[in-house]
Structure 1
Amino acid sequence: MRSIHVVTHPEASHHVEELVGGWHDSHLTPAGLREAASIARALRREIPEDAEVELISSDLLRTRRTAEEIAGLFGVEPVLDRRLREKSYGEAEGRPQEWLDKRFVPPPAVGDRMGHDEGVPGAETKAAFARRVYAAMEEILQHPYEHQIIVTHGFALSFVVASWIRMPIDSLGYVNLRAPSGSITHLREDDFFHNRQLARLGDTRHLEG
């Protein structure tokens, strides 16, 4: 049985400052740091003590800091992979969200949704974003671990899950799996049929109370 535990980083400074995230290297807020500790404890309760665990994280500060909290309870070093970063928003990154809102061009209802850049110079297309996340996942899934923890971002989560269930990239134009900040998504593959399951999406029960 292979289990992948996908974490979306908790509250970061760009959330509370209402700035565009993307590759802008925001940091966890004090609330985000507390949530990261809660995430780590929840994973430690869920994963057997004797399991060999691999921890892979986006290299941005907010995900890296989340991974450090998890690493402290599991005694492992995070492997940083920039391919697990959030979508790049080009010139909009780090600017006020209202700056982007005034310039944002939504994707067409039909047509080339994967090649759309949302009207922002330097922004990644959905196709480019998906290809890099898929490339990261292809490599991660070659590692022989029963339990893997991936720390990434809210939008990137859609492509982590889509890659897991082997959706072709050209079919992703309408895919958007929403998961809250600080959530845990559980992906599972059985040893007999080798079916891949989305066992739990965007669970935040560990943040309650």
Structure 2
Amino acid sequence: MKDLFVVTHTESVHHLEGRVGGWYDTDLTDCGRQDAEATAERLMALIGERDVEIHSSDLRRASQTAAAIAKRFKRPVMETAALREISYGVAGGKPQPWLEARYTPAPDDNRLDHDCGIEGAETRRDVALRVYPCVDAIVERSCDAQIIVTHGFTLTLVIAAWMKVPIEAAGFLSFPAKSGSITHLRQDDFFRSRAVVSLADASHLSFKSS
């Protein structure tokens, strides 16, 4: 059996400041650090003493969440830019209203390649083209319990890659998740089916980050 636990990073400074995240690189808040420890405890309860690998986005809010998990499991973290949040280009770090005033929603006939009208922003396809190969490489590793720490938007594409949803069919997918959530994915050894055991569970958190 292969178990994959996908964690969305806990509360970050940009949440409190009302700034656009994306590749804007901020630290966890005090609440975020507490929630990261709670997330680590919940993962320990789910995984137990099994050997585990920890993979993470290299942005600080994700890597700091992963570090709390790694400390609890006494395991190293493998960081990669492939698991980063979608880039909002020039909007990164600006006040959220700045982005909202300029953001152009993707039309139904061009969900994958629309950059939302923001200079330098990634498209959904751009994110998928880095996330899908990364998830495939992680899953192909021999370890049967793995943790991925990533971001809210990226979570959807991690799940899509796991479920083998073609990129061309991923334009309308969305799996909303609170910060610090845990999504449990499992592949059984007999049928080789890939299941979503639980989606964006945040019941372990005493502080519900947004």
Q: TM-score range by the shorter chain?
A: over 0.9
| Equivalent residue number for residue 198 of structure 1 | 196
CA distance in structure 2 between the partners assigned to 1:65 and 1:126 by the alignment? 25
What secondary structure is seen at the aligned counterpart in 1 of 2:146? strand
CA distance in structure 2 between the partners assigned to 1:42 and 1:141 by the alignment? 22
Q: How many residues align?
A: 207
CA distance in structure 1 between the partners assigned to 2:82 and 2:40 by the alignment? 22
| Structure 1 stretches of at least 4 aligned residues deviating more than 3 Å after TM superposition | none
Report the alpha carbon displacement of residue 26 of structure 1 after superposing the two structures with TM.
1.0
Assess if the C-alpha contact under 8 Å between 2:35 and 2:206 holds in 1.
no
| Equivalent residue number for residue 17 of structure 1 | 17
What secondary structure is seen at the aligned counterpart in 2 of 1:148? strand
The residue identity in structure 2 corresponding to 1:58 is S
Deviations 1:24-44 (A, max 9, x none): 001100000000000001111
| Equivalent residue number for residue 157 of structure 1 | 155
Assess if the C-alpha contact under 8 Å between 2:88 and 2:121 holds in 1.
yes
Please list every run of 5 or more consecutive structure 2 residues that lacks an aligned counterpart in the other structure: none
CA distance in structure 1 between the partners assigned to 2:26 and 2:178 by the alignment? 17
| Equivalent residue number for residue 124 of structure 1 | 122
What secondary structure is seen at the aligned counterpart in 2 of 1:117? coil
Report the alpha carbon displacement of residue 138 of structure 1 after superposing the two structures with TM.
1.3
TM-score (norm 2): 0.97
| Equivalent residue number for residue 27 of structure 2 | 27
| Equivalent residue number for residue 99 of structure 2 | 100
Please list every run of 5 or more consecutive structure 1 residues that lacks an aligned counterpart in the other structure: none
CA distance in structure 1 between the partners assigned to 2:161 and 2:24 by the alignment? 25
CA distance in structure 2 between the partners assigned to 1:135 and 1:191 by the alignment? 22
CA distance in structure 2 between the partners assigned to 1:179 and 1:194 by the alignment? 26
Identity of aligned residues (%): 46
Q: Does 1:185 align with 2:179?
A: no
Deviations 1:65-98 (A, max 9, x none): 0011000111111000110000000000000001
Where do residues 27-176 of structure 1 align in structure 2 (5 Å cutoff)? Answer: 27-49=27-49, 51-108=50-107, 110-176=108-174
Report the alpha carbon displacement of residue 191 of structure 1 after superposing the two structures with TM.
0.6
Report the alpha carbon displacement of residue 131 of structure 1 after superposing the two structures with TM.
1.0
What secondary structure is seen at the aligned counterpart in 1 of 2:140? coil
CA distance in structure 2 between the partners assigned to 1:45 and 1:67 by the alignment? 16
The residue identity in structure 2 corresponding to 1:189 is Q
CA distance in structure 1 between the partners assigned to 2:48 and 2:73 by the alignment? 11
Report the alpha carbon displacement of residue 208 of structure 1 after superposing the two structures with TM.
3.4
CA distance in structure 1 between the partners assigned to 2:106 and 2:159 by the alignment? 22
Report the alpha carbon displacement of residue 48 of structure 1 after superposing the two structures with TM.
2.3
What secondary structure is seen at the aligned counterpart in 1 of 2:142? coil
Report the alpha carbon displacement of residue 142 of structure 1 after superposing the two structures with TM.
1.3
CA distance in structure 2 between the partners assigned to 1:116 and 1:33 by the alignment? 35
